[in-house]
Chains A and B, each alone.
Chain A
Amino acid sequence: MYKWLLAWRYLRTRYLALASIISVMLGVATLIVVNSVMAGFASKLRDRLRGLLSDIIIEHRSDNGFFGVEDKVRQVYEILGDRVAAVSPAIETFGILQFSYPHSREVITRPVIVIGVEPGSRARVGQFCQYLYTAENREHPEACFEVRGEIARRFRRAMEQWRWMQELRRPPPVPSRPVPMAPTFHDAVPPPFQADPESQAVLPPNPTPPELPAELREPSGIILGYSIATYRRPNAHVSDADKDIFLLRPGDRVTLMLLTAFDLPGHDGSQGIPRPMEETFAITDLFRSEMSEYDARLVFIHLKDMQRLRGMANRAKSLYIKLRDYSQDATEAIRLLSSSDAFPPQSFVVQTWEERQGSLLAAISIERGILNVLLFLIIAVAGFGILAIFYTIVVEKTRDIGILKALGASHGGILGLYLGYGLFLGLVGAGLGTALGIAITVYINEIEQAIARWTGQEVFNRSVYYFDQIPTDLQGSMVVLVNAGAVLIAVLASVFPALRAAMLHPARAVRWE
């Protein structure tokens, strides 16, 4: 009984011990915040990575893909049976995107990763449709490449304008007779460029424009990564509504250049080597996964357009498979698929999404592990602080220990008193640290903004990181583990001083001045 009473009184009266409480508190708070943020990053990243892919990906080793999409899809269903929830074929390749921003005649060229997808089935295997910018497309992803309505009108107006520009820029016909001093070229200066397509009045009424080629009259749709079509206003605040400036909008025109697949000798007069193919597309939507790398790189077109452009009729490069129960069936599904004749390993790579993104995921978990070790070392440092402070307290309390022994307190009692004191310190420090850590985690975005305002320095640079907000994931098990670790370290640190206190010679301790 006296142990707890005294430990409690010591806790309340020894201000020296506050230092160790604070060090435990800071250590615990740091661990909780760092772990929450890292877990938040990791889980959001995993979520996005998985959403962009699907559970299992079968990929052909060649860029030319495999023949017979329907057959392969059917075979997947045959091999896996009930385990499959959905399958979607896709073709991924590299391409060059060319466009010019409105108000500017500058032509911009960018390398991109082009993915040909079947929007309907793709929406079922991953979270493709959830990342679309237009709400309507998120609900009806199968129509996301269709150029219709306002998009079609905007595109048509832009094409009319563009056609006039082409027409006006065309060099004047060489006159049959020399016309003296008549600079006809200068007469044909194009009208000032009007960004607003509504003001049609500026279009010259005459002469009649030439017919548009068919691909421009009925263009195919394309979905651009969000960062290709926008840029972040410098010094923009996260909460600003207009922080992102749109350079391209749905309905704008882009030109995509691809290489045909290789093994098509004779097709279209080809020699069996890749040829560049280009086509003009109308933007139908933007794709925003909040992963800057993908948003700046990915471009989606319909699988049919991809097959047509690359000369890959009835071919696809990969199959995305969604399982009904990933955690349970993944290993078995991988085994079944890789051992089947339909997907021989010399031609196909069968992987789960985790294996596919293995290095990135491994890097994150290694990072987290190392950080945890380092942070626990911080708490260990706090532990040594407790040890030193405790030792001082024991020396200071030597006479009191002698008195307690004279009154009949046992070795174990004194040991328990100081261990109990250490336990209290650890508990109080860990409790305060948990409160502080949770508070910081919950309000981390507000805190970050406040710091950014005070210092003028952005802590969490949105252009470097993937997400707009600092993602956090506060896990109960982690909090409990951190607390247990901190309390354990506090108790361990008090073992040595407590032993010394227990071993004190009572007669000498009583005489201690």
Chain B
Amino acid sequence: MLIRKQGKEGELLLEAREVHKAYRKGKHEIQVLRGVNLQVAFGEFVAIVGASGSGKSTLLHVLGTLDVPDSGEVWLAGRRVDRLAAWEKDRLRNREMGFVFQFYHLLPELTLLENVLMPAMIRTSALGWLWQCWRARKQAWQWLQRLHLTARARSLPKELSGGEMQRAAIARALINGPRLLLADEPTGNLDPEAAREIAELLHDLNRRDGLTIIMVTHNWELAQQAERVLRLAEGKLTNAASQDNTPLVLMSGENRK
């Protein structure tokens, strides 16, 4: 088992309370988030949909402590995280969360294996790495096996296909055994075949391994993979409507594959 179970199903993992965030663009202030409330339980798979520019990524960054809300609170496993010191946030991102981005964001100088190992390297000091390296490598190798990437372990990102890069990014996000996976348009840049593969993978990770996932997308089909779909519009989260904008009532299991 590669993912540790950190909590009971149904227990609250992440909570956002009245999160506000504004951006300044020149003289204009754009209110992106206007009081977002969100509760995510352990083992849940939540999709957030919305038009581009609606603030989905900003919300994800705020939840992932990459960005600070102007007001409101973010709680992770019973601990308020939005006002933590920088080093504590770094630690949190390194150990408790994994990020997957639309453009994969692998480091171009490193091989696939080194990219996957990066969070483990960040976690330890140079000296500690001498002790940890073997274990981390073994773990990384297990992930590569599961994601069918072992053949490409020594390749540089530029030699990989989009699907391979995104799978590598997922492996990287999970190497430190996080509680939460934050995915930002994970299939946005992939061909349909690879997109389906990633969608299945996320689904599998959630169902089989009980990984909590918050995914931001404007791809409705992908959003169907989630247990719960929310819509971000005008700075607020609402239960998602269907593609033709009629309210969507989410039932567990029904819209899963």
| Residues of chain A at the chain B interface (Cβ within 8 Å) | 1-6, 9-10, 13, 399-400, 402-411, 413, 505-507, 510-511
Contact = CB atoms under 8 A, between A and B. Distances in A.
A1 B93 contact: no
A407 B109 CA distance: 16
Contacts of A4: 126
A511 B94 contact: no
Interface of B: 57-58, 61, 64, 66-67, 86-87, 90-95, 99, 101, 105, 107-110, 114, 118-119, 121-126, 128-129, 172, 176
Contacts of A411: 86
A1 B66 contact: no
Given A9-B110, A407-B122, A410-B90, 15 more contacts: A2-B121, A3-B126, A5-B110, A6-B107, A404-B118, A406-B64, A406-B66, A408-B119, A409-B90, A411-B86, A413-B122, A505-B67, A506-B66, A506-B67, A507-B58
16 contacts: A1-B124, A1-B128, A3-B126, A5-B114, A6-B109, A400-B107, A400-B108, A404-B107, A405-B66, A406-B64, A407-B94, A408-B92, A408-B123, A410-B87, A505-B67, A507-B66
Nearest to B108: A400
A505 B124 CA distance: 23
A1 B93 CA distance: 18
Contacts of B108: 400
Interface SS of A by simple majority: helix
Contacts of A407: 93-94, 99, 118-119, 122, 172
A2 B118 contact: yes
A400 B107 CA distance: 6
Nearest to A506: B66
Contacts, number: 79
A507 B121 contact: no
A8 to B, nearest CB: 9
Contacts of A511: 57
A399 B109 CA distance: 13
Contacts of B95: 408
Contacts of A5: 110, 114, 121
Nearest to B111: A9
Nearest to A403: B105
Nearest to A406: B99
Contacts of A13: 109
Contacts of A413: 122
Given A408-B119, A506-B66, A1 B125 contact: yes
Contacts of A402: 105
A402 B106 CA distance: 11
B140 to A, nearest CB: 14
Given A5-B110, A9-B110, A405-B90, A510 B66 contact: yes
Given A5-B121, A403-B105, A507 B93 contact: no
